[in-house]
Structures are given as structure tokens and as C-alpha cells.
Structure 1
Amino acid sequence: MTGVETRSVVRDSLFLLADIRIEQGHEAHRVRVRNLSDGGMMAEGNLRVQRGHRVDVELRNIGTVGGSVAWVQDNRIGIAFDQEVDSQLARRPSQDSNLPPAAMLKPSWAHRAPSPPEPGKLRKI
């Protein structure tokens, strides 16, 4: 990585916990959220995922957010959310009531990871 900032979305560093379910799995994996923006997050934990995997992330005060794995490096993963969220809600004290639908703002197409290639269409060298 270079020292040049190329991101178009502001993100904040923080430390909070989240639960991630991989594709249609039933088991939730607890991860540490290292930074969070309205369009995605970086998490740290022991997950076996690959770029393009679909995930559901349970974030405090926001609820369940769908997304896809954008990158994997060691025990850290980047997740691009399907829809933008109000990331500032996660910093507030936990709410006891059900989450309002206003937590979701609008679709975020700028942060979606491309689908993995189909094995039958790969060219062998």
C-alpha cells in the first residue's frame, strides 16, 4: 500500500465488535471492526473467506447489513456493503428498541466487489 489516500469515502478508525455470517452459513463469527465507513468496513478475526464471498454483518445500532468481501490480507478482511449505512450510529450507546429502517440510506454500487470469475471461462496458460 502507498501513502497516497485514494478512497472516496470518509472512514473512521474505531474498535467495536460485530458478528459476521458467511454466505448462507448459520454460524456467526465474532470480529473486531477496525474501521467503518458508510460504504464498508475493515474487520479483523479468524475467518476463512475469499474475495467475492457474500456476508451478513450484524453491527451495533445498525442491524444486519449485507455485503461482499472486497479483499483479504492475513486475518483482516475488507467488506463492501450492499447499501450505505449511517456509520455514526455504531458509535452511539446500544439501543434497546428495534432498529429503524432509516439506518439504511441508499444502495452503494461504488464499493461492490466484482463477482469471482467462472472456472469454465478461465483461460489456461
Structure 2
Amino acid sequence: MASAVGPGLDGQNRGLLTFPPMAWTSASRRRFAERVGGNRTFMSHGAIVQAASESDGGSPVFVLLLCFFLVMGVVQVVRPQLLWKANSRLQRGWVRNPEASEPTSKGYAMNRVVGVIFLGFVIWMLVQQF
């Protein structure tokens, strides 16, 4: 079984993470490694987490998009009938009677429940941006 810490291309053990060992790699991979300098190191997990967690507050366009979704979520919770009326025009080509496909009171209640979950998710994403 090979160790994850092994010798570099020049045979010196530098403690670099070289996996799989050079004996296991194909000749073309060895030639490529020689051309790019031979240092096949990988970024440590801590560095990746640190780079991913450093944010400057987020994109203003993304915040605007989240605000639009926030408004849509409020409309879905407060007046789901407005969303149905706005989208019922899209049914005209596929449904014979779009007015007959209006949800029942239980359907609107389910829309409100989904809207509350959606609002929670959007608010959480907005909080994460700041």
C-alpha cells in the first residue's frame, strides 16, 4: 500500500501530496507533470473552507433578485389568487376552460404553506449575504 506522501519527480521526498504515486501513473501523465514543473500539490481542506467563507457581502444583482423573490413570496402567502390569475393566461392554449382549473380553498392553503417555506428560505439567503 502506497503512502499519500511520497517523493517528487526528482526522487526527493519533499512531503508533498502526490497521489497516486508516480509509479502508478501513465507515461503521458508523467510527461505532463514534468512540463508543468512537477509540483503536484493539492489545496488543503482548510484553505478551501477559508476561501469559500470569505465573502464581501454578495452581489448587488443577487440581492435584488432575492428581494424580487421576497415580494413574490409575500404575494403567494397573502393573495395566492393574484398569482393564479396572472398565470391563468398561460393555460389558454392547453386548457379548454382556464377558470375551471382554479384551485380550491385547500389548494390555496397549500400555496400559502409553500409560500411560508419559500419566504423562510429567501430570508435565510438574504441574511447570509450580509
Q: TM-score, normalised by structure 1?
A: 0.18
**Structure with the bigger percentage of strand:** 1
Q: TM-score, normalised by structure 2?
A: 0.18
**Structure with the bigger percentage of helix:** 2
